[in-house]
A and B are shown apart, each in its own frame.
Chain A
Amino acid sequence: MDIEKANAEATDRMMEARPVVVGMGKALEVVPGMRENLLMHAGPPITWERASGPMKGAITGALIYEGKAKDMEEAQKLVESGEIELEPCHHHQSVGPMAGVTSSNMSVYILENKTHGNMSYSNLNEGYGKVLRYGAYSEEVIERFGWMENVMAPVLGKAIELSGGIDVRAMLAEALHMGDEGHNRNKAGSVLFTKALAPYIVKATDDADVASEIIRFLGDNALTILNPVMAACKAMVDAAHGIEGSTIVHVMARNGTDFGIRVSGLGDRWFTSPVGTPKGLYFPGFTEEDSSGDIGDSTITESAGIGGFAMAAAPAIVTFVSGTPKDAINATLEMYEICYAEHKYFTIPPLDFRGTPTGIDLRKVVELGVTPRVNTGIAHKDPGVGQVGAGLVRPELSMFEEALVAFAEEYGV
């Protein structure tokens, strides 16, 4: 076993992956292993009993949308009876922000890694405020969801096809030079994404009002590109999955209860620790007491070398943690210490175009006792409320230590 060689291969595959948004489809039709009674969710596996408030809310919302339940009580019965099954998005080449709940009749972006051929999927972004992914499921939430599914998705899907595909890696590289870090700040990327698709959206529908509404919706939402970015990152890290002898932590994900990681050289195993509470800034009227535990698959961005790891590229949002632009630089410098490589394509202007820290090395995390910095949105702890802030969180060290011991056992170190 040659760990160095394995890690070089894993990170190289991660960086050379070139995910392109190639289309849109109903989850049931395109996501591998998707079925009528399955709900995909963020993070490692979870049960109803252990699920957090926002996760329960999002499950309820999805079942209301699917017409299978009217309220949380019914949703709970369906899930606890086993009639509705829960599985991580990650088990289906998919990712979803926050609760990440994706049901069979929801639309998903379809991405293809043009380098290695693997596919990945992610749902559509609903914007800020009260949204399903944060566990809100009021009538207005379901209504907006209906518009997205019935009006926007068909047009968007067609526009993507007309465009010939959106190269997300290239777009991300550009957005990093425009103040995004790809996780908590996607302002520039969302505008680039909307700009790239707008000419085709206009062509994809005869209804100018619909086209206008879609373009406005995409352009107003500074998180529009988050879901395609996450799917792109998923395609990248999947290309680095299962490299014999690699200590690269290529997946980090949270379900609101557990923070889970996977290690390239340890196959499909999850190592988990209880989630922490993010430190950050809260919307008016909310405080840290309102916060749910850390949640979402969006840590796939850090896993792929952007997000919190590229903080130096996004000084505008460092104030989330009462920081300064220097703190943003320091955040990225710290992540270099636990990463195996520097990204070939994602570069940071203030660091003289140094590549972003890429490929979390389990060895270094445990040796230095430094866990990855994760940028994140903050969900309200109760179902139905939605996002209440944004900030920073660090996973617990214990699951990394557990993974290192498992690696040592697996490989006889």
Chain B
Amino acid sequence: MPTTKVEIRSGAYYDSVILMQLQRSLAEQPGVIDAGVVMGTEANKDVLSQSGLLEPEAEGANPDDLVIVVKGDAEASAQAALDKVDELVSSRRSSGGDEDYRPHSMETAAKMLPDAHWVLVSAPGRYAAGVSRQALGLDRHVFLYSDNVSLEDEISLKKEAATKGLLVMGPDCGTAIVNGIGLGFANKVRKGPIGLVAASGTGLQQVSVRIHQMGGGLTHALGTGGRDLSEAVNAITARQGLDLLSRDPETKVIVLISKPPAPKVAGELVKAARSAGKPVVVNFIGYATASRRVDNIFFATTFDEAAELAMELVDVAEEFAAEPDISKFARGQRYLRGLFSGGTLQYEALLILESYLPVVYSNAPLDKKYRLEDSLVSVEHTVIDLGEDEFTVGRLHPMMDNDLRLRRFEKEAADPEVAVILLDVVLGYGAHLDPASELAPAIAEGIKGAKDAGRHLEVVAVVSGTDEDPQGMAAQIELLVEAGAKVETSNDAAARYVGRLLQAIERSAEPAEKIEMAQVDLERLKKPLAGINVGLESFTESLSDQGSQVVHMNWKPVAGGNAKLAGIIERMKSKA
């Protein structure tokens, strides 16, 4: 039988809306037909009366009294509901509702969290470029998880980012680790001295977890998106990442990873990695290289190998730090002249130099188009084989007779555009009995002449012989060194040294790169990572779980995706 129960509480004031809330909660209790919770004013009693809830007890209530009326389908249910009043009042005080504000606009998000240097974008592909552009406009790096972003958009975004010193990691970048914080799908990897740049999400993950498993750790693992090493995108992000990690003193070893890259782009990237000043492990899937190592570049064929190499190189990284000193050279000194007596040594030197210098002329070139028109006249970088038939007609081979080489040396040393002269000195039976005695004075003369003219001439000599050779290798070397030459006993080492030196000169001569790039601020990257997240909620949760500050945007496409309205808004902005 329906029963109405009344409770009067004197001197208990609640704001009317709290009371309405309580009333609703009471009405939701099992077996409750209707409920009224009001202060006992005349107007409120009228309200109760209209609903048939004004019992005689309630009629006598004063305006200061809290009147609680519950009409239940039975006395028990009405009483049970009444008994829950205190619980209901206190439960709504403690329940939920502490969610931080989720802004709709990125401007608001940026104001809420000025330290958020990263914007994570996982909005649907067709809007992702627009959102990323907004982030760049607000001077934020972009982690672009979304896929289905057009190649044109990727290129324009990355170019814009590069000119602003910002990174766009992606599109379709699934993972990255910045300053120890994982973005997207990242493993928990300890901090350490290895830096990664990867155009492969799972590659980045695999290498980073292997490094962790071996006890190592990472500074940053930067994703670039899978198309970064295509000819169209031209590795803009990878170049930025490489440059960034090269400048980062905490990064001792760099690992470059990519899905099959465009060979031309891969080659350029490797060339850029040469000047990193630290070991760089390269693992480009399907990228064939002649050797396993070129200078500071170590080629790996598997992720595992890349991780292992990186770990091994950490301890010896310092050895790669020395940049060739090019300060002694005068302006305009930029070319190599190689004067070889041994044909195959010359050939090997050309092969090695090919990866440092774009064009080397010769009387016996690797590529016919770089053949000297006149073997007696050097052009730009020139490496000649003086043992070729054209020079030996009517005269002894240069290994026995230095005359021709000495005259040529004198001529090259006097050339103000020449920075380095590379020579071979072949010892052994049959060869000249004391080549150094003839070469050393010429070398000393050449170096002095250059010095008098305000230049520095670097002379590098490869001495090929043994300590049992009739000439006495040690004595020969001593003579050459005294004359001012740098002596190597390995042709490979000599050619690489020369290559690095000339590359350094070339870099200093033309500092502007083809792609306009501003340096990414390293210090900013090292600040505690904070982010603005647009899209997948789980990215916000994961940042938050890692102790990073994050603002999750309540994002919608501009004007709900209505192109006409979005166009109007865009035009209004450009007018403003």
Interface residues of A (CB under 8 A from B): 1-4, 127-129, 247, 281-285, 316-320, 322-327, 329-330, 333-334, 336-337, 363-364, 366-370, 389-390, 397, 401, 404-405, 407-408, 413
Contact = CB atoms under 8 A, between A and B. Distances in A.
21 contacts: A3-B575, A4-B576, A247-B572, A281-B17, A282-B24, A285-B36, A285-B52, A285-B53, A330-B100, A333-B103, A334-B103, A337-B104, A337-B105, A337-B108, A366-B569, A367-B566, A367-B569, A370-B104, A390-B17, A401-B562, A413-B568
B interface, size bucket: 35 or more
B97 A324 contact: yes
Contacts, number: 118
Interface string B17-46: 110110110000000001111100001001
B96 A413 contact: no
Interface stretch (B207-215, B385-393, B539-547, B553-561): B553-561
A183 to B, nearest CB: 13
A363 B97 contact: no
B34 to A, nearest CB: 6
Contacts of B34: 284-285
B330 to A, nearest CB: 56
B571 interface: yes
Given A337-B105, A364-B105, A326 B568 contact: no
A404 B24 contact: no
A319 B101 contact: no
Contacts of A285: 34, 36, 47, 50-53
Contact of B575 (A1, A322, A330, A366): A1
Nearest to A129: B43
Nearest to B22: A319
Interface in B99-117: 99-101, 103-105, 108
A408 B576 contact: no
A377 to B, nearest CB: 12
A317 B46 CA distance: 23
Interface in B76-105: 92, 95-101, 103-105
Contacts of A281: 17, 20-21, 23-24
Contacts of A317: 15, 17
Contacts of A129: 43, 46-47
B453 interface: no
A337 B103 contact: yes
Given A285-B51, A317-B17, A333-B108, 8 more contacts: A129-B43, A319-B15, A323-B97, A334-B101, A369-B556, A401-B565, A404-B568, A408-B572
B28 to A, nearest CB: 12
A320 B17 contact: yes
Contacts of B104: 334, 337, 368-370
Given A285-B50, A366-B565, A327 B97 contact: yes
B105 A413 contact: no
B369 interface: no
Contacts of B558: 367
A170 B69 CA distance: 41
Nearest to B93: A324
Given A284-B34, A284-B48, A334-B101, A322 B572 contact: no
B564 interface: yes
A3 B575 CA distance: 8
A279 to B, nearest CB: 12
A390 B97 CA distance: 20
A284 B51 CA distance: 7
B78 to A, nearest CB: 15
Given A281-B20, A368-B556, A408 B575 contact: no
B576 A404 contact: no
A284 B575 contact: no
B17 A367 contact: no
Given A129-B46, A368-B105, A326 B35 contact: no
Contacts of A397: 560
A6 to B, nearest CB: 10
A329 B101 contact: yes
B556 A324 contact: no
B416 to A, nearest CB: 60
A367 B562 CA distance: 10
Contacts of B105: 337, 364, 367-368
A225 B105 CA distance: 35
A326 to B, nearest CB: 5
Given A283-B47, A284-B34, A413-B575, A363 B569 contact: yes
A413 B571 CA distance: 7
A91 B30 CA distance: 51
B38 A284 contact: yes
